[in-house]
């Protein structure tokens, strides 16, 4: 499911045959709050925030010394949880540093200085993950 503008979301809600205006209002408010969130690298790739800085996680690969090692399992769980928090797919993170996130979609490259909140991504037509759909309210 693609990210849509707030205007399109409201028009789609208006065309909804439901007479439940309160539910429509809360859906609009939830989506507006979602669009207004500041971007962070964890929305694009599995990452965790450590001491105020984002650390991109790589999928852990087991080796002989990890056999039965709880540390490997902990790294694997941490990676999976971070992956489950990713909101967008179809965008590739190619760099993180000095407060900038560099993202590529097709032939378009942009940084966090180009976009500040989720709503700024609409023109890039990112696809929402299941988690993104859930948090935005678009999965209804």
Q: Establish if 64 belongs to a structural domain.
A: yes
Residues 101, 121: one domain?
Answer: yes
Angle, CA 118 vertex, CA 101 and CA 128 arms, to 5°: 95
Q: Establish if 1 belongs to a structural domain.
A: no
Residues 117, 130: one domain?
Answer: yes
Supply the range of the domain harboring residue 36. 6-45+86-136
Closest CA to 112 of 97, 132, 90: 97
C-alpha to C-alpha distance for 26 and 20, rounded to whole angstroms = 10
Q: Which span out of 24-28, 69-73, 135-139 was modeled with the highest average pLDDT? A: 135-139
Residues 14, 75: one domain?
Answer: no
Give the number of other Cβ atoms within 10 Å of residue 108's Cβ.
Answer: 11
Confidence bin at 60 (pLDDT 50/70/90): confident
Segment 34-53, tens digit of pLDDT? 999 988 888 888 989 899 88
Segment 111-120, tens digit of pLDDT? 666 778 899 8
For 18-23, what is the mean pLDDT? 67
Q: Establish if 51 belongs to a structural domain.
A: no
Residues 134, 138, 139, 140: is their CA dihedral positive or negative? positive
Is residue 25 within 8 Å of residue 14, measured between CB atoms?
no
Closest CA to 130 of 91, 92, 84, 82: 84
- The model's pTM is 0.77
Residues 96, 132: one domain?
Answer: yes
């Amino acid at each position: 499911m693609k990210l849509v503008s707030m205007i399109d979301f409201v028009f789609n809600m208006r065309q909804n045959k439901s007479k439940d205006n309160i539910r429509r209002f809360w859906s609009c408010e939830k989506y507006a709050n979602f669009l207004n969130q500041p971007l962070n690298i964890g929305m694009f790739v599995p990452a965790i925030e450590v001491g105020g800085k984002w650390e991109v996680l790589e999928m852990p690969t087991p080796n002989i010394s990890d056999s039965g090692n709880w540390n490997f399992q902990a790294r694997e769980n941490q990676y999976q949880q971070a992956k489950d928090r990713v909101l967008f797919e179809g965008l590739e993170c190619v760099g993180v540093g000095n407060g900038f996130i560099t993202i590529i979609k097709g032939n378009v490259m942009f940084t966090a200085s180009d976009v500040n909140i989720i709503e700024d991504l609409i023109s890039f037509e990112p696809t929402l993950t299941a988690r993104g759909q859930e948090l935005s309210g678009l999965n209804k």
